């Protein structure tokens, strides 16, 4: 599934999608597992940093991590998101 052009106000630079989850995160209470189907590398206007957004099946950001470069955001996937290989697509 193709992501929107912007997620949480940040422009999508690259993305990966899997019908089967890349992994899971817990909700804000630390209780329920949320499946991560979308990964998006994004940048806010005026900010040189790259944010890797971990998204649910509706491209809602459930977790993020900031990186200095696009390469480090793409290549530094934590183990929790390696259940499926991420095939990155440029925007």
Per-residue pLDDT at 26: 87
High-pLDDT (> 70) share of the chain, % = 100
What's the CA gap between 7 and 85, in Å, rounded?
A: 22
Which of the residues in the chain have pLDDT under 70? none
Its pTM stands at 0.93
């Amino acid at each position: 599934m193709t992501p929107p052009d912007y997620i949480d106000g940040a422009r999508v630079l690259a993305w990966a999608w899997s019908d089967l989850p890349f992994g899971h995160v817990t909700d804000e209470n630390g209780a329920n597992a949320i499946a991560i189907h979308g990964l998006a590398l994004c940048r806010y206007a005026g900010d040189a940093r790259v944010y890797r957004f971990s998204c649910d099946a509706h491209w809602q950001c459930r977790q993020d991590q900031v990186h200095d470069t696009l390469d480090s955001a793409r290549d530094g996937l934590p183990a929790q998101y390696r259940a499926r290989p991420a095939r990155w697509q440029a925007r």
